[in-house]
Amino acid sequence: STLLLLNGPNLGILGRREPEIYGTDTLADIEKAVATEVSGASWEVLSLQHDSEGDLVRDINRHHSGTVGAIVNPGALMIAGWSLRDALAAYPQPWIEVHLSNVWAREQFRHESVIAPLASGVVVGLGSLGYRLAAQALLELAGANR
Ligand code: DQA
């Protein structure tokens, strides 16, 4: 089984992107941590990161079959990513929204997510640990937990 790990704009430079807000783990570190989290269930991780919304939409639509669920950090597309929202609405598997930072402790414009109402759950403010927790939740939702 394949878990889709989807990261939006500006998340490819994690590690050197405002580390006081987003931490020092790189996307490669996060990929490894998520892969470890799901390895017990023999799941694999397909990690895709795009800075543009269209590429994210194309990848979601491409992986309707062949994936068991997704972890999605939409970055700033949380604010007005309507085509990302529509792509996730059509995605047939459970998915979880993750934000490294506590978006509600930050600027007002980060307080609402257009994709959150469609997510199975949302993990916010726990840094890279949030991705691992989301992976655990998806294992649980899929009934694949050890
Ligand atoms: C983020 C929060 C967003 O508001 C921001 O635009 C990001 C990162 C996070 O992981 O904390 O790009 O999604």
Tell me which residue has its CA closest to atom 7 in ligand 1.
75
CA of 17 to the centre of ligand 1 (A): 11
Question: Mutate which of 5, 30, 110 to test ligand 1's pocket (most atoms within 8 Å of Cβ)?
Answer: 110
Give yes or no for residue 101 CB within 6 A of ligand 1.
Answer: yes
Show the tokens assigned to 77.
Answer: 């597309």
Give yes or no for residue 17 CB within 6 A of ligand 1.
Answer: no
What the chain holds in terms of domains, given with CATH numbers, is 2-141 (3.40.50.9100)
Strand order in the sheet with 69-73: 44-49, 2-7, 69-73, 95-99, 121-124
Q: What is the pTM of this model?
A: 0.97
> How far apart (Å, rounded) are the C-alpha atoms in residues 54 and 78?
14
Place of tokens 């996060």: 30
pLDDT, position 145: 72
What ipTM describes this predicted complex? 0.99
**What number does the ligand 1 atom closest to the CA of 99 have?**
10
Q: What is the mean pLDDT of the chain?
A: 97
Show the tokens assigned to 118.
Answer: 């469609």
Show the tokens assigned to 127.
Answer: 């840094």
Binding residues for substrate: 73, 86, 100-101, 110
What mean pLDDT comes out for the span 10-24? 98
Give yes or no for residue 103 CB within 6 A of ligand 1.
Answer: yes
Kindly report, residue by residue over 103-115, the tens digit of the pLDDT: 999 999 999 999 9
Kindly report, residue by residue over 79-99, the tens digit of the pLDDT: 999 999 999 999 999 999 999
